Structure 1
Amino acid sequence: MQKVIGVVAAALVSVAACGAADAPDAQVTAQGFVTAAATGAAVEACALLAPRARDALGPAGCSPVLPEVPHAPVVSASVWGDEAQARSAADTLFLHEFPDGWRITGAGCHLRNEQVYDCAIGGR
């Protein structure tokens, strides 16, 4: 029984370590998106969106909604497997890790209640 607990504990530590190691990459992507949105670099900002988030914006694309994304610096990121949440003083962003890197799945998100966010782009 102790061996099983030790193996489970070791697995949990390794998963937590992976999440901690991935957090800077997720945070860099989130900050890149916020910076691109703030400077009006629509091509760069849109390229950082996950395909589903980009497609959900319809034919107008992401340029019209970029002003709705708060331009506060990203101060932290938490990673759980291939999902991440990045926070600024003004909003929350959600990310997913794809084979080519982290992409934004939700931006300009504000907590509606304890479990639901309303997002300007994509969302949870």
Structure 2
Amino acid sequence: MADIEANKAVARRYMQAVVDGDIATIEALQHPDCTWWILGFGDMTRADFIASVRDGLLTANRRVADIVGITAEGDRVAVEVRGEMTFPHTVYRNEYHNLLIVRDGLIVSGKEYMDTRAAAAAFGPAAEGAA
């Protein structure tokens, strides 16, 4: 039987590691065979996901990830997050819903839903041209 509170704690630690820019903890909280699916990007391997976090979100000068809701049942943890990342030429604000599957203290898979229009406005060709 899953330890729901422990699984929620893993999700909270993961979100805090993103805020702290702690790539070692982000890596450590994921099972070696972890897989991800992100709205607008599709399936990602653990390595590709970690690279995207390291080369994307963690390059922000300031990161905020406020958990506005967390619900768990069995090994599934749903986390609602309001994020704000400050980059040199833009401030990226978005709201996320992450569905994490946690087993034995590690994330074995994750799905991330977000407003893809907010991401495109911050990072798409139009945003790059305005920088």
Interval of TM-score (by shorter of Structure 1 and Structure 2): 0.5 to 0.7
* Structure 1 residue ranges without an equivalent (≥5): 1-17, 113-124
CA contact (8 A) 2:27 2:50 kept: no
Structure 1 residues 65 and 46 mapped into 2: Cα distance closer, same or farther (>3 Å)? farther
Partner residue of 2:99 out of 68, 91, 94: 94
* Structure 2 residue ranges without an equivalent (≥5): 37-44, 83-94, 117-131
DSSP-derived class of the 2:65 partner? coil
Partner residue of 2:110 out of 105, 118, 123: 105
Q: Give the equivalent residue in structure 2 for 1:66.
A: 57
Separation in 1, partners of 2:51, 2:73: 32
- In terms of fraction of residues, the more helix-rich structure is 1
Q: Tell me, yes or no, if structure 1 residue 46 matches structure 2 residue 27.
A: yes
Q: Tell me, yes or no, if structure 1 residue 57 matches structure 2 residue 48.
A: yes
- TM-align CA RMSD: 3.4
TM-score by structure 1 length?
Answer: 0.52
- In terms of fraction of residues, the more strand-rich structure is 2
Identical residues among aligned pairs (%):
16
Q: Give the equivalent residue in structure 2 for 1:35.
A: 16
User: How far did 1:61 drift?
Assistant: 6.4
CA contact (8 A) 2:70 2:79 kept: yes
Higher relative contact order (CA 8 A, sep 6+): 2
Separation in 2, partners of 1:78, 1:59: 24
Separation in 2, partners of 1:27, 1:105: 14
User: How far did 1:111 drift?
Assistant: 5.7
Separation in 2, partners of 1:59, 1:31: 17
Separation in 2, partners of 1:58, 1:78: 23
